[in-house]
Every structure is written in C-alpha cells, then in structure tokens.
Structure 1
Amino acid sequence: MIKDDRLQSPQPTHFPSSEELKLGNLTVTAFDLGGHEQARRIWKNYFCMADAIIFLIDAADFERVDEARAELLDLITDEEISNIPILILGNKIDKKFAMDEKILKEKLGIGRICTGKTGKPAEGIRPMEVFMCSIFCRWGYGDGFKWLSSYLN
C-alpha cells in the first residue's frame, strides 16, 4: 500500500519479499520478512544486506507487545547490526484502544535509548526512534521515513 498508494487488505507475510520504494530522493529495496515465529528465524540471513531496519508493531495489540519487545531487544543487542539505524513504526493508531507513543516506548523498554526525532545522535550511538502511524489512514509513516532517510546515503 505504501508503494503504490492503493488500499488493500494486508495479508500475513508467509515468504520474504522485496520491493523497490522511493523515499524522497532515495530509492531503497525493502525486504518484508514477516514477524511470525517461523519468519523471525531467517532475519539474520538479511543482516548483511541491511542499511536500516524498520520494525513495524501493531500499537493496538497489547497481547503481543511482550513478544515484540523481546524481538526488538534481540535486534538492538546484535553486534552484527549494532550501528544500523532502527525506525520503529507504531501502526494502527487509528484504532480506538491503540497505545500512544509514550506507552509504546515504555512497553518496549526503549524510552531511554531512543535518540530523538530531530538532530543527529552522538558518534557511536545507533539512531533509533518511534513514529506512530496508521498505514490504513495513510499518515505518520512519512515522517518516520524522512527521519530514516537522513541516516542513509
């Protein structure tokens, strides 16, 4: 939906796929690897190709936030990708009971290590920030992509 601006019912990712996306002046190859347990087993196979990570979380799914926290912590502490910027998109904020940014950061345990939406972090500090969005309503993710593109060549 982000690529061609057409509204479609999202289907769970069963197999990795890739798409070329244009983010401002930047053209990127995005890999959709999925987030279910079986898909997470292959994430490391793609680390060598990654210049950035976009971690998409359902901000309305309180039942799976602990699982997301554990997976995000694994990414954050992996030495192979320790300097790769991470954009965390808290999606589905159009839902009535979705977490706001402060609660999402708290539930993920990342409030103190996010580096901010403006300015650059100090040398040696991995850029990481949360942007709340609704892909369905088509808002919020553009700011996140703009932030992320400032760290890519």
Structure 2
Amino acid sequence: MFLVDWLYGILTSLGFSQKKAKILFLGLDNTGKTTLLRMLKDKRLAQHEPTLYPTSEELNIGTITFKAFDLGGHQIARRVWRDYYAQVDAVVYLVDATDTDRFPESKRELDALLSDESLANVPFLVLGNKIDILKAASEEELKYHVGLSNFTTGKGKVNVKDSNIRPIEVFMCSIVRRMGYGEGFKWLSQYIK
C-alpha cells in the first residue's frame, strides 16, 4: 500500500489529478466480466455464479477511480444495458475467445452497442478472454468475427479530440493467468477525461 500511496503522491505533484469514470463491463454470459471485476477489485481469482442482477464496484487504477458496472450477459440482463448508458466514460466488452459458436451473437450485441447514439463518443476496450485455452481464436480471427478488422484505432496514443474517431481496440487476455487486460486498461485510461 505504501508504494501505491507514494506513486499517487508523485503523480499528483506532477499535475495528474485523480479522475473519476463510469465504466460498463458488457458481453455475453460466461465471458469473464465478473471474474475480471473481482480480479481488479481484490486481486483474487474465484469461481462465480452467473450474474443475475447488475452490480457495481469502485476500483482505483493509477490516477483513475472507476465506478464499474457488471450488468450480466444473459439475454434478460442485456435488456437493461441501455439503462446504464447515461454519462458512461468507457465500455469494456468481453468476448470468450474459445466460444466460436457464439461469435455471431457477440457481434450482434457489439454492433448494437457501437451503433447506439448515446454511446457514439465512448471508447470501447474489447477483451478477447480465455487465451490460455488452446482452442482460443487469435486476435485477427476475433477481430474478423466481431466485425472489427478494419475499425480498431491502434494500440498506441490516438488523437481523437480533433476528429470524429471513436477509440476502439482489441486486446487478447487471460483473466485466470492475469495477462493482457492490464495493457488494455492502460490503453483505455488515456481516453478517460
């Protein structure tokens, strides 16, 4: 904890202030949304029951305090996603990279989110989860199947202030192996205002 406090003090003295953000964790059921939220919250891996009701957690990552909402991914839960779009700063959309049979369904949901006017300027971090499993799709395969092959903005810093570009990028990850999602959140944090 001392190191976190020290780092926060350094960042604050350099002019970085604590930002607050509202982030939605979305995706089909069984993609790892709750597992990721719990991993970010308390760094512990655990088996979770399917999310039946929306839940929220406050997370501190670097100089950003996130109010993260896990809304569930089963069909009934997807009906309430829209109720949470107001004043959202980012969307983290998870895809099970091993469940190729559900890629079309995941694409439909992602397309609906990306075409919703109330999310028009919201950055999207798409996480292809479960890459620790041998049959997981590659990043290029996942991008193709969810319709993002030619629509991602790049993993570096993209100046979107003077353009009509929505930041969107795919990062492959394994929540259980604690890899890949950190780079995704680092990328996303540059677009939190």
TM range (shorter): over 0.9
Q: Deviations over 1:68-121 (max 9, x none)?
A: 000000011111110000000000000010001000000011111110100215
CA distance in 1, matches of 2:40, 2:49: 14
Give the alignment partner of residue 116 of structure 1, picking from 154, 171, 181. 154
Does residue 143 of structure 2 align to residue 105 of structure 1? Answer: yes
Structure 2, unmatched stretches of 5+, are 1-38
User: Taking structure 1 as the reference length, what is the TM-score of the superposition?
Assistant: 0.96
| Mapped pair 1:27 → 2:65 | yes
Amino acid in the other structure paired with 2:78? R
TM-score with structure 2 setting the length: 0.77
Counterpart residue number, 2:18: none
1:6 equivalent in structure 2: 44
Q: Tell me what 1:45 maps to.
A: 83
Question: What residue ranges of structure 1 are gaps of 5+ in the alignment?
Answer: none
In the TM superposition, residue 131 of structure 1 has moved relative to its aligned partner by 0.5
CA distance, structure 1, for counterparts of residue 180 and residue 171 of structure 2: 7
Instruction: Indicate the percent of aligned positions where both proteins have the same amino acid.
Output: 50
Report the equivalent of 1:128: 168
Residue 64, structure 1, aligned to residue 70, structure 2: no
Q: Secondary structure of 1:104's match?
A: helix
- Distance in 2 (CA, whole Å) between partners of 1:89 and 1:10 is 19
Give 1:11 shift: 2.4
| Structure number, greater radius of gyration | 2
User: Which stretch of the first structure deviates more once superposed, 114-123 or 67-76?
Assistant: 114-123
1:88 corresponds in structure 2 to: 126
- Paired position in structure 2 for 1:143: 183
